Chain A
Amino acid sequence: MVGYTGKILRINLTEGKITTEPLNMELAKKYLSGRGLGGKMCFDEVGPDVDPLSQENKIFISAGVLTGTNAPTGGRYMVVTKSPLNGAIASSNSGGYWGAQLKFAGWDMVILEGKAVNPQYISILDDKVEIKDAAHLWGQDVYATTAALLEEFGDPKAKVLTIGPAGENLSMNAAIMNDKFRAAGRSGVGAVMGSKNLKAIVCRGTGKVENAKPDDMKKVLRSALAKIKENGVTGQGLPTYGTAILVNIINESGIFPFKNFQDSYDPDADLTSGETMTEKHLIKKDPCFRCPIACGRYNKWKGGEGGGPEYEAVWSFGGDCGVHDYDAIHVANDLCNKLGMDSISAGCTIAVAMELVQRGYIKQEELEGVPLEFGNSQGMVEWTRKMGYAEGALGAKLAAGSYRLAEAYGHPELSMSVKKLDIPAYDPRGIQGHGLQYATNNRGGCHVRGYMVSPEILGLPQKLDKDSLEGKAGWVKIFQDLTAVIDSIGMCLFTSFALGLSDYTEIINAVTGCNYTDEEILQCGERIWNLERLQNLRIGMTKADDTLPKRLLEVPIQSGSSKGSVHRLPELLPAYYSERGWDENGVPTAETLAKLGI
């Protein structure tokens, strides 16, 4: 199959050994690449009893089959590993330019095993791969590490993937960063890299990725690009305002979580909206590799400039913390980039800490004189910094993430998370399908594994009543399966606002030379979803883990247009299991697994 380089780089850090192996094309046909193939290999190679932060865990950095091609947004890669947060298969997706360089260097995947005795980094120049001493980089932030490695490498076209101090400190909120501002953010993947004493991978490739059917590719690209351009979301909304345009939409929809989900409407949300960001902070767009959408922002703020916050970070440090100081939100987001943290979970952890203070569970004497109240922007920024460095007793507790923080104070129910992963910026009480998606998400509280906001709020591909339960189980299943496909080919989820299943199938076939049908491609996604489910089951998760925080099931939203709503999960879950071909306990039946060839 074209599109794949056919080669995997396996690096054992304990032994300092670098080997290469062929990509298993039979597996690639079934699991594609990226999240799917990486997940399958992680499932097979990392057993259920492995401690995620031990040297027995492995990291599969897995590019997409379309990564490095001229497919629109075809530059993404996945970091797949056993999550230290919850033991699920973590597959954290990132854009930027690093992923394409890996393919240009001739590699579909890098597998990292073992643990280096001392801090190391990896240098990749095509097939010249070296493990190098990183003593001088350990303790450095992402920006300093990136600059130092680019200078040492001596080629400005090289790209750097690195952890920051948060990853070194094994924070559950640690991300793996690339190109300074792009993050494989969720599930604590940065901590796994830190546990291996691996600081960074600098990569430069001089090759290119071919298409099997160049004429077909021209045709399907012309069609896909036209659809992306003509679509209001991908052609106008996201390019003009970035993802923060959602602030007002989600707030007006009454599902903008405020002060750790104590409410779901922020009367002053416009102070931190996409419109306000564009007016006051935007310097220029900052697109990823081969991206015609360019939602990324390069912004300025009081005292600095750099990668601007996405919608999720605007909310996590803004509405979720009751903060309306847009400069402070930018600073906190910049700290996440610099120290290598997931900007969703970092902000959510601060919000949970604020509620623990509000309720008197965190005592004033623990605060070291730094305020930690809702709405205090100065305190929000300083505690974000302390979290990144695990500084002080409370800083170290914050670094363990919101669930472990709340649990340490005897109130885990105050962590607004699913499977210990913080729920992002859409209150499920007022959007039933999306809430079902959170509860059943294999990696936990995540919005990008079945973005039901698209039909339930934006009306794409068709408008659904956000408060209705009708048909939602089926919609969630299809969205989850299609997203698993997009995550497993190296394209950006945002293309799905404009493209449909057939568009992806055509692009995959033009690049690989295969003749997948739409049904076969969607079944790849379903196979990936079910394999991830089997991982959850074999580490001991049960139906009881397919749930939402008690507050979201029992306490109605207090104000805004979704006032009075709770999430009606018990009414949806049986239908979802049935749609999936799982038994009443959420276990895939033998027939389902046989159908999927698992």
Chain B
Amino acid sequence: MRVIVKLFATFRDGRFKVREFDFPEETCVLDVIQSLNITPEEIAICYRNGKDAKPDTVLHNDDTLALFPPVGGG
């Protein structure tokens, strides 16, 4: 299935900004972040289609996953 992954702030270092992936069905958030060498503890905000997601959240075709480390306020 097709999943778009967006990375922000330091997560972009040595990785990418936005990339489209082809994952098997039943892939969850944890599977994706492990494939990117990111641990759940490093993540402050995790959105699946703009809504809060958890490591065990299962992804679906055409989902967008956005990952942020602890960042800031304004």
Contacts and interface: CB of A to CB of B under 8 A. Distances in A.
A246 B51 contact: no
A245 B72 contact: yes
B74 A561 contact: no
B71 interface: yes
A56 interface: no
Given A245-B9, A270-B17, A463-B52, A253 B73 contact: no
Nearest to A273: B8
Interface in B3-59: 6, 8-10, 12, 17, 44-45, 47, 49-52
A274 B66 CA distance: 16
Contacts of B71: 232-233, 237-238, 241, 245-246, 249, 274, 458
For the residues of A in contact with B, the DSSP-based class is: helix
B9 A240 contact: yes
Nearest to B8: A248
Interface residues of A, number: 41
B73 A453 contact: yes
A121 to B, nearest CB: 32
B10 A236 contact: yes
A458 B73 contact: yes
A447 B52 CA distance: 23
Interface in A439-479: 447, 451, 453-454, 457-459, 463, 465
Interface residues of B, number: 21
A458 B45 contact: yes
A482 to B, nearest CB: 14
A253 B70 contact: no
User: Which of A245, A273, A425, A463 counts the most chain B CB atoms within 10 A?
Assistant: A245
Contacts, number: 89
A311 B66 CA distance: 20
Contacts of B52: 463, 465
Contact of A252 (B10, B17, B50): B50
A126 interface: no
B45, B51, B70, B72: most-surrounded residue (chain A CB, <10 A): B72
B9 A274 contact: yes
B50 A311 contact: no
A454 B73 contact: yes
Given A453-B73, A458-B71, A561-B50, A249 B12 contact: no
B50 A560 contact: yes
Given A243-B72, A275-B12, 8 more contacts: A232-B69, A233-B73, A245-B9, A248-B68, A459-B44, A497-B72, A561-B50, A562-B50
Interface of A: 231-233, 236-238, 240-246, 248-249, 252-254, 270, 273-275, 295, 310-312, 425, 447, 451, 453-454, 457-459, 463, 465, 494, 497, 560-562
12 contacts: A233-B70, A233-B71, A237-B69, A237-B70, A238-B72, A240-B10, A243-B72, A249-B68, A252-B8, A274-B72, A458-B73, A497-B73
Query: Which 7 A-B residue pairings sit nearest by Cβ, starting from the closest?
Result: A561-B50, A232-B70, A311-B74, A237-B71, A243-B74, A237-B72, A238-B72
